[in-house]
Amino acid sequence: MPDVSPWREPVPPDGTMGEPRARGRFGEYGGRYAPESLVEACREVDEAFREAWADPGFRGALARLLAVHAGRPTPLTPARRLSEALGVQLYLKREDLTHTGSHKINNVLGQALLAIRMGRRRLIAETGAGQHGVATATAAALLGLEATVFMGERDIERQALNVFRMRMLGAEVVPVSTGSRTLKDATSEAMRHWVGATGDSHYCVGSVVGPDPYPWMVREFQRVIGDEARAQCAAELRTGVPDHVVACVGGGSNAAGTFAGFADTPARLVGVEAEGGAGAARGRLGVLHGCRSLFLQDDDGQIAQPHSIAAGLDYPGVGPEHAHLRDLGRARYVTVTDDEAVGAAVRLARTEGIVPALESAHALAWVISAAGGGDLPAGSTVLMTLSGRGDKDVSTLKELL
């Protein structure tokens, strides 16, 4: 497995994972590259978020929603049988046990509350596999908002069940027929649609991507994963802090939320990407969807079409903060193949009784392959975020197994 970005040792002192610099900069990445009308809309979101995040009333309302509706806090589960076989101590942060089955709900509930605070009555979202669309439709139904979800025609064919779930929840699903008819095109279309609807609609971005303030705001809404895990590790691990903190990276929101809880500790942060969607490991500097970051591109600078068995990792780039953490050497980004991920999913099912999402299985595949070697010495403690449950992937797995 190619080891694509280097560590820097010792871990640098932190400033990392605080607030971005002016205009949403993480090092040379980030920013707000959007048409003028969206620059103004983003400025309003930024102002509203800063105010809300400083307001204990807003934080309390969100914490209550996360507790009574989304099932937080999620447990920290020791993977006992697998740990014994691998010779490391593996702990799983169980985002698969949240309502709707992935970490996406943490961010969506935050943005839905913010939308209401801003007087908006509708959420706009993009979705690939449909997980973010389902979470958005769920939050909208719960809080009495409308939801319009943009989805590529190819994904609509591949993810019929999630399309039905969104419609059942009362959301409008808009098919996108441009380009490759997948997530990248759905995102472009959702942004275009927002231009004409900024007065009554909030664009609920699904990962730590897009124009400022989204990469920072979405990370803050997802840091509940890392903050909970930090406290759980302090209570349950002999060492208090794990040696390694591992998460899969599509756009990078579950990883960013997890890393944020450990940024000021000596834990080594590892982001695991799909071999065919390795924005942080293999991308080049570019601008897409309002943000300067690392993207897979061809020789002409055209954005390349990513390929992964895990639809949630099928994004051609990575959020700007991950690009920055990579440059600093604070986090390291590695890649895993489709086959390794499928193998890891089966292994977790049979040793721990947990069928993980194929996205999360990428993180586990790295742990399995690295355990006992120089990257993950025997006896290490590892915290891994299990970003979602595998129900959505059973038809994919059924074809292969």
Ligand X SMILES: *Cc1c(COP(=O)(O)O)cnc(C)c1O
Supply the minimum distance, in Å, between the C-beta of residue 249 and ligand X: 5
387 is catalytic: yes
Measured CA to CA, the distance from residue 222 to residue 251 in angstroms comes to 13
Chosen residue from 360, 380, 381, 396 binding ligand X by CB under 6 A: 360
Give the other-Cβ count within 10 Å of 145's Cβ.
22
Supply the minimum distance, in Å, between the C-beta of residue 379 and ligand X: 28
**Per CB under 6 A, 308 contacts ligand X:** no
Piece in contact with ligand X (CB under 6 A), picked from 40-48, 118-126, 156-164, 247-255: 247-255
**Per CB under 6 A, 133 contacts ligand X:** no
Check: CB of residue 322 under 8 Å from CB of residue 278: no
Supply the minimum distance, in Å, between the C-beta of residue 235 and ligand X: 25
95 is catalytic: no
Supply the minimum distance, in Å, between the C-beta of residue 150 and ligand X: 15
Chosen residue from 30, 226, 242, 250 binding ligand X by CB under 6 A: 250
Catalytic site residue from 95, 126, 340, 352: 126
Q: x/- contact string, 94-123, with ligand X (CB under 6 A)?
A: --------x-x-------------------
Supply the minimum distance, in Å, between the C-beta of residue 3 and ligand X: 20
Supply the minimum distance, in Å, between the C-beta of residue 372 and ligand X: 26
Check: CB of residue 344 under 8 Å from CB of residue 305: no
104 is catalytic: yes
Measured CA to CA, the distance from residue 380 to residue 178 in angstroms comes to 47
Residue with tokens 């309302």: 61
**Per CB under 6 A, 254 contacts ligand X:** yes
Piece in contact with ligand X (CB under 6 A), picked from 145-153, 174-182, 185-193, 242-250: 242-250
**Per CB under 6 A, 207 contacts ligand X:** yes
Catalytic site residue from 5, 95, 387, 392: 387
**Per CB under 6 A, 297 contacts ligand X:** no
| Of residues 160 and 234, the one with the C-beta less far from ligand X | 160
**Per CB under 6 A, 131 contacts ligand X:** yes
| Of residues 154 and 198, the one with the C-beta less far from ligand X | 154
Chosen residue from 290, 312, 316, 320 binding ligand X by CB under 6 A: 312
Chosen residue from 326, 387, 393, 396 binding ligand X by CB under 6 A: 387
Piece in contact with ligand X (CB under 6 A), picked from 81-89, 178-186, 249-257, 328-336: 249-257
Which residues are tagged catalytic? 104, 126, 387
* Residues engaged in binding ligand X (CB under 6 A): 102, 104, 131, 207, 248-255, 312-313, 357, 359-360, 387-388
